[in-house]
Structure 1
């Protein structure tokens, strides 16, 4: 896999812990076991655009007031949605 930061080959998939601000800006939450990428050459740990988009869409579509401070990625993604899709994305 090619690193998106330094463009070197050898980046690997890794489960990461990320901190994400809720769409309403009231607080941030910790999301564990989030799919990510780690490059041992440059030391960057990051999420792909696909994962970022999935996270942001899910947070827009669920009742975030029910979320605790820490949640596992798969549990977050399985939360019931209030809308079927993000109608604000053009």
Structure 2
């Protein structure tokens, strides 16, 4: 896998922590163990676009009032959705 920033092959998969603002803007949540990429060449750590899209869609389609201030990626993605997909995404 190539680093999106420096194009080095010196990358590895990692489970990192990130912070997301809820769609209603009421607060932010800490999401732990997010599938991520870590580059030892440039030091960049990031989530790939499809993971970011999955998290944002999930937050849009669940009852976020039931989420604590910290949740793991796996726990977040296992919460039942109101809708099957994000119909608001164009």
TM-score scaled by length of structure 2:
0.97
Q: Within the alignment, does 1:28 sit opposite 2:28 as a pair?
A: yes
Q: Structure 2: any 5+ residue segments left out of the alignment? A: none
**SS of alignment partner, residue 85 of structure 1:** coil
Q: Within the alignment, does 1:54 sit opposite 2:54 as a pair?
A: yes
In the TM superposition, what is the alpha-carbon distance from 1:63 to its structure 2 partner?
0.3
In the TM superposition, what is the alpha-carbon distance from 1:28 to its structure 2 partner?
0.6
- Residue by residue, what CA displacement relative to the aligned partner does 1:18-48 show, whole Å, maximum 9, x if unpaired? 1111111111100011100000111111000
Count of aligned residue pairs for this structure pair: 90
**SS of alignment partner, residue 43 of structure 1:** coil
Runs of 4+ in 1 over 4 A off after TM superposition: none
Distance 2:44 2:25 in 1: 26
**SS of alignment partner, residue 15 of structure 1:** strand
Q: Within the alignment, does 1:2 sit opposite 2:2 as a pair?
A: yes
Q: Within the alignment, does 1:88 sit opposite 2:79 as a pair?
A: no
